[in-house]
A and B are shown apart, each in its own frame.
Chain A
C-alpha cells in the first residue's frame, strides 16, 4: 500500500479481554516495528521483525504480549487479559532496509487502546 495501515484506529475494551492490533506495512518493506506511546510519553520499543522473524522481542512488557508476522507483510500484536496500564497508542512502522534501523521508518497512524 501507499502507507502503513493500522487497525483498528480506536479500541475500547474491558479489563481482562484480549485484543488484536493489526499492521499492514508499506509493500516491499522488510522491517516492521511495534512501539507503544503512553500519554505524554516517548516511544517505547516493543518488538521488530525482519521478514517473518523477530530478532528482538526484549521490549514486550510481559508474556501477555505477543506478535507475529506472516508472509513478510501483515503483523498482528496481541494483548491477552488486558490491564488498564496497557492503555496507550500502539504505533507500527516499517522500513525498507534489511538492516534494522538502517533506513527511515514510516509510521502508521496508530491504534489507540483504552482499557476500562
Chain B
C-alpha cells in the first residue's frame, strides 16, 4: 500500500461547480498535510496545509482532515478553468510524501 494515495482522475467539472479531491494515507504518525497544485510543465506550488482535524478554509479552497479515517480532502468552490491542473496531496510524519496526484479539468 502506498503511503499517500489519490485517485488519478482525470476529474472533470463544469465551471462554477465544486471540485472535490480526495486523499488517504497509511501512516498514523503523519501530523500535517499539504495540498499542492502543479500546472503542466511547472513545479508544484502550495495551496494550503492542515494540521488539525476538521475544516480549514482559504478563499475558494477548503481542506478537510479526518485523522481517525486517515483521510484528507480539498474542496474547490466556484471552480474556474484556471484551476485546471494536477493536485498533489502530501503528508508527513518525518519526510514529506506525495500522492500520485489528481488531474482536474474545469470546463467553461
Contact = CB atoms under 8 A, between A and B. Distances in A.
Q: Tell whether A and B belong to one assembly.
A: yes
Interface of A: 33, 35, 41-43, 45, 48, 55-56, 59, 91, 100-102, 104-105, 107-110
A56 B43 contact: no
Given A42-B100, A43-B98, A101 B43 contact: no
Given A41-B100, A43-B44, A107-B44, A101 B92 contact: yes
B98 A42 contact: yes
A102 B30 CA distance: 10
Nearest to A102: B32
B32 A105 contact: no
B34 A108 contact: no
Interface in B1-50: 6, 31-32, 34, 43-46, 49
A91 B88 CA distance: 14
A105 B32 CA distance: 13
B32 A109 contact: no
A1 B53 CA distance: 35
B92 to A, nearest CB: 3
A6 B94 CA distance: 24
Contacts of B76: none
Nearest to B98: A43
